[in-house]
Amino acid sequence: MTAQEMKTEITGSEAVLKALVAEGVDTIFGYPGGAIMPIYDALYDYHDKLEHILVRHEQGGIHAGQGYARTSGRTGVVFATSGPGATNLVTGLADAQIDSTPLVCITGQVFAHLLGTDAFQETDVINITTPVTKWNYQVTDANEIPAVMAKAFYIAGSGRPGPVLIDITKNAQLQKFEYKGYEKCHHIRSYRPKPIVREEYVKEAAALINAAERPLVIFGQGVILGKAEEEFKTFIEKSGAPAAWTILGLSALPTDHPQNVGMLGMHGNYGPNVLTNECDVLIAVGMRFDDRVTGRLDRYAKQAKVVHLDIDPSEIDKNVKTTVPVWGDCKETLPLLTSLIEKKNHAAWINRFHECMKMEEEAVINEELHPTNEVMTMGEVIEQLNQITNGEAVIVTDVGQHQMVACRYAKFNKSKSNVTSGGLGTMGFALPAAMGAKYGAKERQVVAIIGDGGVQMTIQELGTIMQYGINVKILILNNRFLGMVRQWQQLFHEKRYSFVDIESPDFVTVAKGYRIEGNSISKREELREALKTMLNHNGAYLLEVMVGKENNVFPMVPQGCGVGEIRLK
């Protein structure tokens, strides 16, 4: 850029778009409105540089941004107008905050002189979103825009990622100012994205691992966010320890890796839960000891020494007392730790997990994946999907029984393949997130697995799929209930089924109204061919599979119980 070009006068709106281009953004999900109209007007001239996807609801836009970020490993970008447009982002912001998803959300705001006057479509979006963003900021002067945008992208994508919201008043969007170019941000004085690695702690952790007879590694999304999949694999293979995953850690390690012993938590595998209370050293990598993983904390791994690797110091000792904290980015700390540990073989210990899996297969898995009665199960649908996709697809799940079944039984060979709402548990997440996931991984097959309740929360995004020809496959597992709530009511509330019996439209007819092909099946003999037809179809496709109304997801750790009290039936 020449000195003359750097002194060009431009509007605040164009400065926003120049920032996006400079940051390498290629896709925006958004919905226009009065307060953000100047940015959309400027966007008219950037159609060759930035692809904008017009969603049908702002919540759909932000979930799409999340899906894009999760499969691409980049920062998602979302536009919304003021007032209801901005408040419709709040659920997605909360979801992204708790699941550490990098987003930059740009909202329009009323003219600065109208702030605080209850002007049309004015809300105090800064105070509303402060609890659910990593950082937010209101711009009232266009001169601030380049630096604020650079800061937003740096904060969103660095350290433990998260959502950032920039609220720009309409006068700042329209205001012309002397543009002096755009510089990416690489440092903020008051912000340290990664803690300093303490080598003495790494040495202490290695000593504990070397002395362990029954080590257990539990890993979360931090491995994926840190792009440390290879470093993690090298670490566990040298340690010889079994490794179990949280639902957001799923796909960081191939499902069929011999040291992968399954899923932790409320509906996780029997072995990882029960044997957590028998391990002597618990090594947590990039996970936060969520209550769904730990159950009752006063009954969780009390016998174990705990090594916790995390980039966010606030997670250390937050829920589980740590013996040795290893602060830092696991891409840096894992190789340091690996270099100090001894190569071990814990075959006898790993065999304990295999024995537990055999018990689980006899009690739960065999009947779930290969049922003997006429009613189809969610598990057998996932099993057939595995066989056809060979574990190569991106699976996007909503929230409920189908989510737990998919996480339990889906197979993954590649990282960034499991996209789900973990911490917030947002029904309505999957359909729009699948759209974004496809834009983030255009070359990959993307399958959205959704329940009959959750799909109706954001079903209008079929319109977005129609308009842009987004090639996503939509698999609705329909049990005619709000299944997870019904399961709890059955088990803990004496089958008092209070407002969980949900009627649904003819989903195939609804899809056809959006010019999306579809089919509905209820017989086992139709399943495999129906899945093949869905996956091979050129374009979006909706397949509804009618499954058992009152099937439950087991194993299960009842709320208020410890992980050792997991029920197989």
Q: What is the pLDDT of residues 512-558, one digit of tens each?
A: 999 999 999 999 999 999 999 999 999 999 999 999 998 999 999 99
Q: Nearest 5°: phi and psi at 274?
A: -65, -45
Q: Does some domain include residue 345?
A: yes
Same-domain status, 245 and 324: yes
**pLDDT above 90: residue 7:** no
Over residues 40-79, the pLDDT tens digits come to 999 999 999 999 999 999 999 999 999 999 999 999 999 9
| Range(s) of the domain holding residue 291 | 199-351
Q: What is the mean pLDDT of the chain?
A: 96
Q: Does some domain include residue 551?
A: no
The two three-digit tokens of residue 410, written as one number: 């889906």
Confidence of residue 192 (pLDDT cuts 50, 70, 90): very high
Sign, Cα dihedral of 145, 147, 153, 155: negative
Share of the chain above pLDDT 90, in %: 96
Q: CA torsion 457→66→538→415, rounded to 10°?
A: -130
**pLDDT above 90: residue 2:** no
User: Are 439 and 53 spatial neighbours (Cβ–Cβ below 8 Å)?
Assistant: yes
Name 437's Cβ contacts closer than 8 Å, sequence gap at least 6. 67, 68, 70, 71, 394, 396, 419, 446, 472
Q: Does some domain include residue 290?
A: yes
Q: Does some domain include residue 554?
A: no
Q: Nearest 5°: phi and psi at 212?
A: -70, 140
Give the chain's domain count.
3
* Pick from 133, 145, 201, 206: nearest CA to 171: 145
Same-domain status, 163 and 226: no
Cis peptide before 555 (omega within 30 of 0): yes
User: What is the DSSP secondary-structure string of 306-364?
Assistant: EEEEES-GGGTTTSS--SEEEES-HHHHHHHHHHHSPP---HHHHHHHHHHHHHHIIII
**pLDDT above 80: residue 4:** no
Same-domain status, 383 and 302: no
Active-site residue, 121 included: yes
User: Are 178 and 7 spatial neighbours (Cβ–Cβ below 8 Å)?
Assistant: yes
Same-domain status, 260 and 342: yes
User: Are 525 and 240 spatial neighbours (Cβ–Cβ below 8 Å)?
Assistant: no
Q: What's 108-152 look like in SS3? A: EECCHHHCCCCCCCCCCHHHHHHHHCCEEEEECCHHHHHHHHHHH
Q: How far is CA 412 from the centre of its chain?
A: 15
> What's 21's domain CATH number?
3.40.50.970
Same-domain status, 382 and 313: no
Q: How far is CA 10 from the centre of its chain?
A: 37
Same-domain status, 418 and 496: yes
CA distance 165 to 78: 9
Q: Does some domain include residue 444?
A: yes
Q: How confident is the model at residue 559, as a pLDDT?
A: 86
User: Are 176 and 9 spatial neighbours (Cβ–Cβ below 8 Å)?
Assistant: yes
Active-site residue, 120 included: yes
Same-domain status, 426 and 324: no
| Residue tagged active-site, from 1, 7, 120, 355 | 120
DSSP tag of 365: I
**pLDDT above 60: residue 1:** no
Q: How far is CA 92 from the centre of its chain?
A: 11
Q: Does some domain include residue 277?
A: yes
Q: Does some domain include residue 368?
A: no
Active-site residue, 4 included: no
Question: Counting beta carbons within 10 angstroms of the beta carbon of residue 451, is it exposed (0 to 12), middle (13 to 18) or buried (19 or more)?
Answer: buried
DSSP tag of 299: G
Q: Does some domain include residue 422?
A: yes
Q: Nearest 5°: phi and psi at 124?
A: -80, 75
Q: SS3 for 250? A: coil
Other Cβ atoms within 10 Å of 215 Cβ, number: 27
DSSP tag of 240: T
Q: How confident is the model at residue 297, as a pLDDT?
A: 96
- Mean pLDDT of all residues in 157-173: 98
User: Are 156 and 163 spatial neighbours (Cβ–Cβ below 8 Å)?
Assistant: yes
| Residue tagged active-site, from 14, 18, 29, 58 | 58
Last residue of a domain, one of 178, 208, 237: 178
User: Are 448 and 464 spatial neighbours (Cβ–Cβ below 8 Å)?
Assistant: no
Helix (H) or strand (E) holding 3: helix 3-6
Active-site residue, 58 included: yes
Same-domain status, 485 and 423: yes
| Residue tagged active-site, from 404, 457, 484, 534 | 484
Active-site residue, 170 included: yes
Q: In what order do the strands lie in the sheet with 517-521?
A: 418-419, 394-397, 446-451, 473-478, 541-546, 517-521
Q: SS3 for 285? A: strand
Place of tokens 């980039």: 311
Over residues 340-391, the pLDDT tens digits come to 999 999 999 999 999 999 999 999 999 999 999 989 999 999 999 999 999 9
Prediction pTM value: 0.96
Q: Nearest 5°: phi and psi at 451?
A: -85, 165
Report strand pairing: 305-310 vs 446-451.
unpaired
- Mean pLDDT of all residues in 211-236: 98
Same-domain status, 213 and 323: yes
Q: How confident is the model at residue 6, as a pLDDT?
A: 55
Over residues 372-382, the pLDDT tens digits come to 998 999 999 99
User: What is the DSSP secondary-structure string of 141-196?
Assistant: SGGGHHHHHHHHHHHHHSSS--EEEEEEEHHHHH-EEE---------BTTB-SSPP
Confidence of residue 483 (pLDDT cuts 50, 70, 90): confident
Same-domain status, 18 and 151: yes
Confidence of residue 5 (pLDDT cuts 50, 70, 90): very low
Over residues 256-307, the pLDDT tens digits come to 999 999 999 999 999 999 999 999 999 999 999 999 999 999 999 999 999 9
* Pick from 556, 555, 474: nearest CA to 514: 474
Length reported for the chain: 569
Q: SS3 for 507? A: helix
> What's 342's domain CATH number?
3.40.50.1220
Same-domain status, 129 and 249: no
Name 68's Cβ contacts closer than 8 Å, sequence gap at least 6. 27, 29, 74, 76, 436, 437, 439, 440
- Mean pLDDT of all residues in 2-13: 74
Last residue of a domain, one of 351, 368, 391: 351
Same-domain status, 210 and 316: yes
Estimate the share of the chain in helix, then strand, then coil, as percent rounded to the nearest 5.
Answer: 45, 20, 40
| Residue tagged active-site, from 18, 134, 170, 331 | 170
Last residue of a domain, one of 316, 351, 386: 351
